[in-house]
Amino acid sequence: MCFFYNIPNQKETSGYNHPSIQKVFQNPENLSQLVNRPALGVHPTPQFIKQINQTLMPIAPKGLEYVQPMMCGSCSNENAFKAICIWHANKNRNGKAFTEEELKSSLYNQAPGCPTVSIMSFEGGFHGRTFGALSCTHSKAIHKLDIPSFDWPIAPFPRYKYPLEENQRENQKEDEKCLARIEELFHEYKSKQNPVVGVVVEPIQSEGGDYHGSATFFQRLQKLIKKSQLVNRPALGVHPTPQFIKQINQTLLPIAPKGLEYIQPMMCGSCSNENAFKAICIWHANKNRDGKAFTEEELKSSLYNQAPGCPTVSIMSFEGGFHGRTFGALSCTHSKAIHKLDIPSFDWPIAPFPRYKYPLEENQRENQKEDERCLARIEELFHEYKSKQNPVVGVVVEPIQSEGGDYHGSATFFQRLQKLIKKNNAALLIDEVQTGLGATGKFWAHEHFNLPESPDLVSFSKKFQTGGYFAKSEFQPKQPYRIFNTWMGEPAKMLVLDAILKTVKQENLIENTKKTGDVLLTGLKNLNQKYPQLFYNIRGLGTFCAFDMPNASVRDKFLVQMRNAGIQMGACGDVAVRFRPALIFAEKHANIVLDKMNEVAKKF
């Protein structure tokens, strides 16, 4: 790396200090875009579409007319892998629709919905630290140790002799050797029913040792590579600034869930969960090593996605759960088949999550039996996966299954779940990406459960503007670069979070959410009594409320009519309508929504 320091009596500018870049931040409109973080996936702004057309499209590599914006290198590569898998499956379908078997099987990480296909990568390559990208990363063993990997082929990358002009014959033979092995791998993985659907390669293997491939090598490999770069974004993973450390201490640590003293900043919900999974796997392996150093066999085998370096261990998740769209998180996601179709998944256990009858007070006995059913199956899964040499090392669960249909678990369910997890020497990760920061009437939704002890890890993102996870100190790896990416958060978003947290405290917004939630829930129950054929299964904590409708067709028609009446509402699960208002949503706003719902319901 090269660094530039301030040299006395020298006025030259470079990098982020260049006047052309400073000018960008002097424009108030630009500053607003840098500070605010719109949910572009749901509501892309006209300005952003304009930025894509004016900034990204003109630099598109020749022949590539489609751009998919992402946050960081890992999720860019992960989603590119997914695009390849989907493209491959669509070719095989020949324009036909998904089958019912594909849709159903994908929710359980099974074929044909989640097929066995592979991405080829190269020895020494580096493509990121999330599960899919990490399966294609082979530069340093410390990045991969203790993390499960896909069985994907790893090809040799040329290692040339220098000077090039004096070693042309030897280097040509090196190209031939590598290309021959690549051809073999295509055939090998096709014959083992794990066909290669994509190849990922760097023009220069940066992390692996700055190894170059010749133009001839890349021409014959026929692979285009694309990289994009963000402006004015410090590489906090490599050079954390004093200001950022201060932001962590003053902004993030004061909101840490009780008992969790370690914070790992990240960018989004998917990478927060992925890296929490990795922390769990590393923690489990460290316990088994009992303080001993890595063996040479572990180090070498991890670079080839093999045991013992990359062990067969699993993360348990729940039917209907949603934890992200990268390979590891997607293996724990079971809410909508369209998220998972055509993407390979890990063989990780999927447990049932309670489906209660409402009103709760009238169905206590039935719901208690539902808890018992789910907990019994969870215990069985621990034993089943242990017996098949794929032990469960962690369990990830949402306090409320948001994307899957706003399903709730009782405090008793979560208390007993934690005891079961502890009994089986696994870790509990609570995913608060959707529920964190006050929407349920408490800062963290899991505070409603009065758990016997703190969860082991809690992930967060969305309303927090940034991402990451809190954890007990034992989940902090001892070696550097094991939980890592270039950015590790973003200072600009921390400034916004700090302002949000101050506003929440000054305006007592969590108490407001609790009171408004009571009004909203009472109003929904009244609508249920008035229109029992339309609204039922009324449920919620704070303003994090939902209800079910007879079927998806009726639900979608209702949402359109509400939108036409001036109220934007969201769907989730098969038949649910969910409320996700801002924390400033007050009782008067709740009454407006309830009145509009009543008006629309009269038309059904």
Active site residues: 322, 431, 462, 486
Q: Which residues is 578 bridged to in the sheet?
A: 546, 570
What is the H or E stretch that residue 198 is in? strand 196-199
With tokens 């459960």, the residue in question is 449
Residues in the chain: 604
Q: Is the dihedral of CA 249, 252, 254, 260 positive or negative?
A: negative
Q: What are phi and psi of 420, to 5 degrees?
A: -60, -45
| Integer Rg of the chain from CA | 26
**506 burial type by CB count under 10 A (0-12 exposed, 13-18 middle, 19+ buried):** exposed
Cα distances (Å, whole numbers) of residue 526 to 133, 364, 513, 518 = 50, 21, 20, 12
What DSSP line would sit under 411-477, residue for residue? HHHHHHHHHHHHHTT-EEEEE-TTTTTTTTSSSSGGGGG--SS--SEEEE-GGGSSEEEEE-GGGS-
Q: Which two tokens stand for residue 100?
A: 């019912």
- Euclidean distance between CA atoms 259 and 144, whole angstroms: 28
**484 burial type by CB count under 10 A (0-12 exposed, 13-18 middle, 19+ buried):** middle
What is the H or E stretch that residue 540 is in? strand 536-541
**317 burial type by CB count under 10 A (0-12 exposed, 13-18 middle, 19+ buried):** buried
453: left (phi over 0), alpha (psi -120 to 50) or beta: beta
Which residues have CB under 8 Å from 567's CB, separation 6+?
592, 593, 596, 597
Nearest Cα residue to 430 out of 469, 392, 483:
469
What DSSP line would sit under 216-275, residue for residue? HHHHHHT--------SS---TTTS--HHHHHHIIIIIGGGPPTT--EEEEESSHHHHHHH
Q: 42: which DSSP letter? A: T
- Euclidean distance between CA atoms 454 and 446, whole angstroms: 9
What residue type is assigned to position 481 of the chain? Y
b/e sequence 399-410, b meaning 16+ C-beta within 10 Å? bbbbbbbbbbbb
- Euclidean distance between CA atoms 351 and 321, whole angstroms: 10
Residue 380: CB atoms within 10 Å: 12
- Euclidean distance between CA atoms 305 and 278, whole angstroms: 15
